[in-house]
């Protein structure tokens, strides 16, 4: 068991008291969780990392716009006389702390080690298993969250991923790993292009561009960011074509981050951030929902762990295209390994790196391109989008996460339909070999 620690009060300025009567509200959170990663190298070496969390906290939503956060490792906060909540709540939290965590079995390790050696690729198996109890007195409940994926990696950006079910048949999970190894080999075998086109359509392929919508739509629509008044988005303003909808919620994900309640005990719902091209609803936690009497928490109050207060955060961001497909009819670039480089939330200016892009040509094999930088403005880019493929595909790489206010890496996942940025919408330049 981890040594007990007690965190000092953390005062956060908010807009309103804990409830409409002005009384303080105590929101509790307890977790027993494991985040792990196993990296299998072709030479047989295995690197293991694991972070376990077991503890509890409470947020005291007080009057005069103040929230106090206290935490302790283990069950220290759950025992009288220091306890600030009911015995029933403490008993529920204590049971959560004793629930077992999933582990990778020796057969799975041996199979991945053998596949890595035979295919000469690095395989990374990563996952999250979390038991939580959360809520105010008389509300909330418990939840179990699982997420696991395997990645085949040759170099930065040149990677493929697939879900991995820790509880299902090993043969099925291993077959998925073998498929991504085959796809990775096909991509690595492509010939390099002699030149990079200065203008070309950019295809945001299904399941390959979640980071694009995460950065340009998701973060600005987290309620605390939106209320700062320094973001380019405004509710009610048209931002994209009528066929575009972007939503976030932990209830839709199949292999990605999925949850029944958030880390404050609020029911997880899907917040529609852009509805048919128009900026719509922000993602809220208990505090930010209180800025407007019409709002309720959308279930986006999330913590890096019990040592942190809850803040509005994304969970599983999806971009949908409700229109007939208009795929590119000339050469186009597919930006594999898309990563944000700079994003200005006030102006919408951005630059992304495509770490392993591919050039597609009509009636010719695809070519590998060097690392590219794609830069532009979110207003221009989102307005210019064309639908390319209505199929929505998930990307759920469990070893990565999102950072906000120092809380990194929080597990988040994505899904998106296929869309095209027409030539000239973003600038394209070489950013490395």
Q: For residue 29, which of 81, 80, 90 has the smallest C-alpha distance? A: 90
- Report pLDDT digits (tens) over 158-198: 999 999 999 999 999 999 999 999 999 999 999 999 999 98
pLDDT at 63: 58
* Partners of residue 302 on adjacent β-strands: 311
Q: Kind and range of the H or E element at 91?
A: helix 87-97
pLDDT at 398: 86
Q: What is the three-class DSSP state of 398?
A: coil
pLDDT at 62: 80
Enumerate residues 6+ apart whose C-beta is below 8 A from 325: 387, 388, 389, 390, 418
Q: Kind and range of the H or E element at 183?
A: helix 170-188
pLDDT at 431: 95
- Report pLDDT digits (tens) over 57-113: 999 988 545 789 999 999 999 998 878 899 999 999 999 999 999 999 999 999 999
pLDDT at 156: 82
pLDDT at 18: 45
Mean pLDDT of 288-302: 83
> To the nearest whole number, what is the mean pLDDT of the chain?
92
User: Could you say which DSSP state residue 222 is in?
Assistant: B
Q: For residue 414, which of 204, 248, 296, 186 has the smallest C-alpha distance? A: 248
Bigger pLDDT: 62 or 201? 201
Rounded to 10°, the helix 170-188/106-119 angle is 20
pLDDT at 368: 97
Mean pLDDT of 329-345: 95
Q: How far apart are CA 368 and CA 333, in angstroms?
A: 10
> Please, are residues 193 and 359 in contact by the beta-carbon 8 Å criterion?
yes
pLDDT at 384: 98
On the question of pLDDT at 6 being above 70, the answer is no
**Residue 389: C-alpha distances to residues 103, 274, 392 (Å):** 38, 19, 8
Q: For residue 205, which of 413, 353, 383, 420 has the smallest C-alpha distance? A: 420
Please state the length of the chain: 433
pLDDT at 193: 96
∠ CA 174-176-180, rounded to 5° = 115
Q: Label residue 7 by pLDDT band (50, 70, 90).
A: very low
pLDDT at 8: 40
Strands 364-368 and 358-361: antiparallel
Mean pLDDT of 280-292: 88
Q: How far apart are CA 205 and CA 217, in angstroms?
A: 18
Helix, strand, coil share of the chain (percent; to 5): 15, 40, 45
Mean pLDDT of 200-206: 97
Scored b (16 or more CB within 10 A) or e, 184-193 reads beebeeeeeb
pLDDT at 17: 35
User: Could you say which DSSP state residue 213 is in?
Assistant: H
pLDDT at 22: 58
Q: Label residue 338 by pLDDT band (50, 70, 90).
A: very high
Work out the percent of the chain whose per-residue pLDDT is above 70.
93
Which domains, and CATH codes, for the chain? 25-189 (3.30.2290), 201-430 (no CATH)
Q: How far apart are CA 402 and CA 397, in angstroms?
A: 12
Tokens (6 digits) for 244: 């575009």
pTM: 0.92
Q: Label residue 5 by pLDDT band (50, 70, 90).
A: very low
pLDDT at 84: 85
Q: How far apart are CA 293 and CA 124, in angstroms?
A: 46
Enumerate residues 6+ apart whose C-beta is below 8 A from 301: 262, 263, 264, 266, 284, 285, 286, 310, 311, 312, 313
pLDDT at 65: 56
pLDDT at 198: 85
Tokens (6 digits) for 272: 């529609």
On the question of pLDDT at 425 being above 50, the answer is yes
Q: How far apart are CA 133 and CA 56, in angstroms?
A: 9
pLDDT at 67: 87
Q: Label residue 9 by pLDDT band (50, 70, 90).
A: very low
Indicate the burial class of 304 (C-beta count within 10 angstroms; 0-12, 13-18, 19 or more): buried
User: Could you say which DSSP state residue 97 is in?
Assistant: H
């Amino acid at each position: 068991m981890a040594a007990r620690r007690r965190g000092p009060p953390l005062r956060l300025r908010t807009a309103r008291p804990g409830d409409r009567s002005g009384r303080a509200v105590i929101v509790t959170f307890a977790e027993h969780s494991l985040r792990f990663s196993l990296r299998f190298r072709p030479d047989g070496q295995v690197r293991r990392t694991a972070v376990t969390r077991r503890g509890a906290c409470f947020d005291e939503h007080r009057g005069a716009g103040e929230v106090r956060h206290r935490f302790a490792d283990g069950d220290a906060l759950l025992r009288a006389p220091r306890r600030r909540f009911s015995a029933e709540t403490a008993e529920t939290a204590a049971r959560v702390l004793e629930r077992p965590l999933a582990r990778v079995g020796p057969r799975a390790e041996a199979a991945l080690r053998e596949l890595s050696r035979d295919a000469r690729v690095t395989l990374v198996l990563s996952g999250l298993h979390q038991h939580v109890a959360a809520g105010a007195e008389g509300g909330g409940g418990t939840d179990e969250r699982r997420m696991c994926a395997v990645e085949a990696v040759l170099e930065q950006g040149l990677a493929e991923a697939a879900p991995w079910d820790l509880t299902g048949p090993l043969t099925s999970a291993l077959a998925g790993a073998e498929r991504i190894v085959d796809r990775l080999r096909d991509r690595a075998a492509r010939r390099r292009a002699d030149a990079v086109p200065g203008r070309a359509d950019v295809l945001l392929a299904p399941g390959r561009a979640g980071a694009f919508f995460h950065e340009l739509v998701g973060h600005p629509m987290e309620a605390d960011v939106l209320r700062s008044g320094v973001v380019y988005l405004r509710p009610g303003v048209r931002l994209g074509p009528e066929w575009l909808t972007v939503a976030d919620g932990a209830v839709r994900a199949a292999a990605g981050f999925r949850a029944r309640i958030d880390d404050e005990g609020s029911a997880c719902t899907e917040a529609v951030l852009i509805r048919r091209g128009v900026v719509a609803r922000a993602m809220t936690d208990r505090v930010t929902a209180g800025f407007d009497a019409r709002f309720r928490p959308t279930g986006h109050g999330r913590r890096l762990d019990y040592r942190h207060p809850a803040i509005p955060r994304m969970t599983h961001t999806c971009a949908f295209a409700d229109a007939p497909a208009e795929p590119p009819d000339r050469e186009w670039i597919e930006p594999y390994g898309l990563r944000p480089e700079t994003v200005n939330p006030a102006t919408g200016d951005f630059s992304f790196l495509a770490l392993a892009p591919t050039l597609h040509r009509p009636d010719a094999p695809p070519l590998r391109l060097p690392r590219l930088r794609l830069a532009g403005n979110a207003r221009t880019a989102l307005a210019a989008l064309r639908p390319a493929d209505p199929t929505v595909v998930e990307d759920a790489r469990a070893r990565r996460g999102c950072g906000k206010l120092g809380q990194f890496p929080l597990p988040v996942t994505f899904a998106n339909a296929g869309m095209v940025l027409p030539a000239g919408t973003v600038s394209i330049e070489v950013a490395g070999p």
